[in-house]
Structure 1
Amino acid sequence: MTDSPRPNGNRRTPSPPVSSPGTGAPPADAPRSGVPGSGKRRDAFFDNAKYLAIVLVAVGHFWEPIKDDSRFMEAAYTVVYAFHMPAFIVISGFFSRSFDMRPDRLGRLVTGVAVPYIVFETAYPLFKRVVDDDPGQEVSLLDPWYLTWFLCALFVWRLTTPIWKAVRHPLPLALGLAMLASVSPRIGDDLDLQRVLQFLPYFVLGLCLRPEHFHLVRRRSVRFLAVPVFVSALALAWWAEPRMTTGWLYHRDSAQELGAPWWAGPVMVLVLFGCSLLLTACFFAWVPGRHMWFTALGAGTLYGYLLHGFVVKAGDYRGWFDASVPHGPVGAVAVTVFAAVLVTFLCSGPVQRVFRCVMEPRMEWAFRRDAAGPARARGRGQEERAAREAGGTRKTREGREAPEQVSA
């Protein structure tokens, strides 16, 4: 859960996401509910989607230093970057539908998003100081560094969720903001607002989706059509590679900063939105809905997302990618396999237990006691029992089928 390097080290900021841990969600190995997002049990489909997407994120980051020697790898890199981040953000929006300003949900937003952001926004520059022998590297909580931009964006998106739930046409409004951002070079780098605004439509789209929409893309006919779509996308990316800069895919810069006329910004926002949604739908079509060996890893994708960046950066600082071996076909395959195995390990239970103190701190001491919490818990319990007895789908008090989760 992404980007090409910038001259000052801290702007090489790939995409994430990474899935964040479920906050208050049931164990990842709980049986699936049968309907995406229904009930309290984790749905295998979404955990599978998050795991497969985080593997693509890690592979893309390891491809970045070695892709310049192969036009095919450039094309594959472009296709992957066109949809893996939008897929994460759509899932994040889908599981944010029940978010409001309730104290317990704000507390989970702080512990599950803000605290990891602060920890890793500090850890990455310090890591560069030590490993790259760069004592001048500064720590700044206002300029997201490398992978941490997604946590910053998710925090902002979550806080604005009540607004998007209140307005009449949220998606067109979000697209309008993204188009305006693409022609506004003066937004600057603070909190990576350029990327926050340009990726916003995908989050708002997730807020607008319902479980039945995911059932539509998982039909057999869509699964068959996804194959020629991906092949066509790869061919198009191969053709466009010498003609288009991949900077458009990062949604990090305005049109003027990419050396294009201002009107190209809104056009590219709309074109990429359509292409990304098509590829995201094809990706979801091939995600298995049943319990797989990697399903439980879907609950730990935030761990894999944030931690694998240290390995990528270590390789960059120490010149591991400068050798000739990774730049050949065999080396590229080896790098791909290594990236997939590494991020799989980093999503595993033992790693989660070690780093849970900074990824999912409890921090009851930091918040006032919510007097209405026990009453809400009893009300939810009564609703669940009534739903089980009626054999129907439990719904929350907000009328949403999906429980709130922090997804990366």
Structure 2
Amino acid sequence: MTAAETTRHTPPKTKRTPFWDNARWIAVTLVIMGHATLKLIAASDVAYAFYLFVYTFQVPVLVLVSGYFAKADPPSGRQLKRLLTDVVIPYLIFQSIWIVIQWAVEPKHPFTLDYTSAKWTLWFLIALAIWRMVLPYLAMLKFPFLISVLISFVSGYASSADDTLSLARVAALLPFFVLGWELRRRSQYARWWIAARQGVVWPVRAVAAAILVTAGVTMYFGIDAWRDLLVRRFLLFDEEYSSFGYDQWWAGFLRLLVIALALVMTFSVLVLVPRRHTFFTEWGSATMYIYLLHTFFLYPIRESGWLEDHSNVPVLAGTVLLSIGIAVLLSQRFIRRVFRPLVEPRAKWLFHQHRAPA
């Protein structure tokens, strides 16, 4: 999910597949829901169950989709330029904005130009850049997906894998990125549910829906156990196991279980994503705008403390609707026109202008 991949307007006659735009918009909307409901989970079991349910697949879906469109060829000059304009420069811009905001609003945050520890959701941009750079090397190996799973497994034991350059998440979520690339490379496995004109048979969709419903019910009725087991910390994929009390030798196998659960949930969601053009298909081309800008809406609401004082089912429902409303608003074309210099900076001044020889 890069700006160039997801924000360029294309006319209806292009070969753009509605499935992926639908999946992008649904996934990024779920990301907003997860971020919005965080402040509710301390006092509401329903909100906590909903939070855990969403977090089992929201980020894995985004990462897998990003991997599907990644290239494992040695990077060309054009690809490196796009890496800078689509990922690196937007990261520097939004990281700077958040540094100023937190310095101005939160007294405990000194003004420090720190670009190694990503603010809030910006870890994803760092991760995208690193995943793209390492993918050509993984692609040279025989079993890239299994190796990425091993990297994720081992990284949870490494105390050096912290929030510096989001390395903990980069390593932990790598399997989903590699799997996305593998699906496109082995198109015979992906074509079954990806092709726009090839619908998925209803029995399979029924099974996928049953899996999601079962997961949601299990999350709710087992909420006390999930709290005690600190399942949420595993779903964030951003910490060493021992940092939240799992210093046993077998802790990494719990991550493997979480990865397996996330894959089952991710594919269940993808099976249910509409294949046809829908009213929100075009909005799927704005996912980077939604992802980078939604935090400016949620930040004042989350920091106000109001959600923590009103943790009940109606507030949860309202928060979910608010999240959908934010996603719809940020999908509009006028948002892209206004914020394009921040989200999709062309930065022509930064690059050599190659001229054709006389």
Is the structural similarity TM-score above 0.5? yes
The offset of 1:135, in angstroms, is: 5.8
Deviation at 1:183, TM superposition (A): 0.7
- Residue 361 and residue 99 in structure 1: after superposition, are their counterparts in 2 closer, same or farther (change >3 A)? farther
Task: Pick from 258, 280, 291 the counterpart of residue 272 of structure 1.
Answer: 258
Partner of 1:223: 205
- The whole-number CA distance in structure 1 between the counterparts of 2:354 and 2:260 is 43
Q: Does 1:241 align with 2:215?
A: no
**TM-score, normalised with respect to structure 1:** 0.79
CA displacement, residues 219-260 of structure 1 (integer Å, 9 cap, x when unaligned): 433211012111221233231423321111011111111101
Number of corresponding residues: 345
Matching residue of 2:67: 93
Q: Which residue matches 2:4?
A: 22
Task: Tell me by how many angstroms 1:26 deviates.
Answer: 5.7
Cα 1:314–1:72 change in 2 (3 A) is same
1:260 maps onto 2:246 in alignment: yes
Correspondence for 2:296 among 310, 316, 338? 310
CA RMSD of aligned residues (A): 2.2
Q: Which of 98, 108, 111 matches 2:82?
A: 108
Q: Are the counterparts in 2 of residues 104 and 370 from structure 1 also a CA contact under 8 Å?
A: no
Q: Letter of the aligned partner of 2:39 in structure 1?
A: P
Q: How far apart in 2 are the matches of 1:135 and 1:221?
A: 53
Task: Say if 1:195 and 1:251, in contact at 8 Å, map to a contact too.
Answer: yes
Unaligned 5+ residue runs, structure 2? 194-199
Q: CA deviation at 1:101?
A: 1.2
Counterpart in the other structure of 2:150: 176
Contact 1:86 1:276 in 2 (8 A): yes
Q: TM-score, normalised by structure 2?
A: 0.90
- How much does 1:69 deviate? 2.3
Q: Distance in 1 between matches of 2:189 and 2:113?
A: 42
Q: 1:321-345 CA distances to partner (integer Å, 9 max, x unpaired)? A: 2443xx2222221111011101221
From 49, 66, 84, the equivalent of 2:23 is 49
Matches within 5 A, 1:187-198: 187-198=161-172
Unaligned runs of 5+ in 1: 1-18, 33-40, 375-408
8 Å contact from structure 2 (residues 46, 313) kept in 1: no
- 1:346 aligns with 330
Alignment of 1:354-373 (within 5 A): 354-369=338-353
Structure 1 stretch 87-96 or stretch 223-232: which is displaced more? 223-232
Distance 2:174 2:25 in 1: 22
Instruction: Report the equivalent of 1:149.
Output: 123
Does the Cα contact within 8 Å between 2:3 and 2:86 map onto a contact in 1? Answer: yes
User: Given that residues 62 and 312 in structure 1 are in contact (C-alpha distance below 8 angstroms), is that contact kept between their aligned partners in structure 2?
Assistant: yes
Structure-2 change in CA distance of 1:319 and 1:173 (3 Å): same
Q: Does the 8 Å CA contact 1:194/1:253 hold for their aligned counterparts?
A: yes
- Deviation digits for residues 158-192 of structure 1 (CA, Å, limit 9, x no counterpart): 11121122111101111111111011123332101
Q: Where does residue 393 of structure 1 map in the other structure?
A: none
Q: Does structure 1 residue 213 correspond to structure 2 residue 213?
A: no
In structure 2, the CA distance between the partners of 1:21 and 1:28, relative to structure 1 (3 Å rule), is farther
For 1:135 and 1:185, the matched residues in 2 are separated by: 25
Match of 1:335 among 319, 327, 349: 319
Structure 2: distance between partners of 1:298 and 1:371: 35
How far did 1:98 drift? 5.4
Are 1:132 and 1:318, in contact at CA under 8 Å, matched by a contact in 2? no
**Equivalent pair of 2:233/2:244 in contact (CA under 8 Å):** yes
More helix per residue? 2
